Amino acid sequence: MGRRTIATLSAALLLAACSGDDGGEGPAGGSTVSPEPAVEEEGSPTDDGAEETSSADEVEGSEGGAAPEDGADDADGVGDSEAQDPVQAFTITEHGSFDEGWAMDFLPGTDHLLIAERVGALQLRDQDSGEVTEVTGTPEVHHAGQAGLHDVIAGPTFEDDGTIYLSWVRSTDQGVQGVVGRGTLDVDDASLSDIEVLWEQTPQSGNGHFSLRMLVHDDHLFVTSGDRQELDPAQGLDTNLGKVVRLTLDGEPAPDNPWADEGGVAEEFWTLGHRNPLGIAEDSTGQLWVSEMGPQGGDELNLLEPGENYGWPEASMGVHYGGGDIPGHQEGDGYRAPAAYWVPAISPGNLLIYSGDLFTGWQDSALLGGLSGQTLVRVDLDGQDAEVADQWDMGSRIRAVDEAPDGSIWILEDGAGGRLLELRPDN
């Protein structure tokens, strides 16, 4: 079967996107990958909060595509510029490996890639020489289950003062807690200093569903906060679990947030009803999107709208582990339905919205790395609509996806010894 035929079959199988929780070695360096029919595995549920490890047999042909109608009108702008056929195949080059790599960011104004390892280390990679140096001065982290050092992003003033934001998990007398901090990174010395904690997640027992992905948008800091596997807090106004919060760059609640009049921790909330949102990104029109792990099936790609309730745990396109029913999203139920969802699970580890020119036809596509699915998924965004376009079997659990300044795509595999991979179109 030729590449075009396979791509057509993949798009047909994934016509509506539908997923679950959080698996292996991938393609060798220099190999070429073309789209294949959907291959997805569901993560195995765990009671102690450890990342689910894929164990089910591979299943061909996921359901996917448009989610239930929620009455929202389409916005103009996204997707209108795609005039060329999208890239269908790419080459992969391996650039070493890392210990539980969780996040990465290309540092503006430098030739360096900053990589966060969940074990608690920050690694600085010189993109010219390939040399990797461990950063000194990182905070002490609680490393267990899904806990550890999580996200890292350059601040908007990084080129002037070296400011970065990072998120991690720590132990407190009240329980385990995710936090967001700010510090100063000296690239030449590979050192981090002046770390201050700006935001604290409500403490809770257990070591799962922290989320803690970050995005700076319109001079505000957005942070995803998981439900910590406690379900009900996602609907509560007395805890910041199961929310996306919107803060000033100094970590204070933004003054015009939707629940500002409620006072207390609710002043932080931008949206609520989330389970484990492990990706957040901005499209070319300024819309914000979040990728979210569902329960058993029901992974989601959500368009973020201020004040919206995304339903968890009252509504989901998946079911509880063990088979317990959850009402599906229905028009008029009061909850915002996902723009796309996955059944069976792909377990999206994070989210990138592509803005470069190197991969033609991918502009404003959402790229999700699958953990249990061991896939790279491309989703076409068109206003408020999302449709799965392509999916590639990567042969390993994908934890993070990022875009380099030249438009190439870089991937971090999950787990100890997970590889750093560079993707370029196969010309």
DSSP string, 226-274: --TT-SGGGG-SS--TTEEEEEETTSPBPTT-TTGGG-GGGGGEEEE--
Residues 6+ apart with CB under 8 A from 8: none
- Give the per-residue pLDDT at 40: 28
**In the chain, which residues have pLDDT < 70?**
1-83
Coil, helix or strand at residue 9? helix
Backbone torsion region of residue 262, taken as left when φ is above 0, otherwise alpha when ψ lies between -120 and 50, otherwise beta: alpha
The closest alpha carbon to 375, from 396, 361, 351, belongs to: 396
**How high is the pLDDT of residue 43?**
40
Confidence at residue 109, expressed as pLDDT on a 0 to 100 scale: 97
Q: Are 90 and 110 in contact (CB under 8 A)?
A: no
Residue 58, number of CB atoms within 10 A of its CB: 12
Question: What is the structure's pLDDT at 84?
Answer: 81
What is the per-residue pLDDT for 60? 31
Q: Residues with catalytic annotation?
A: 209
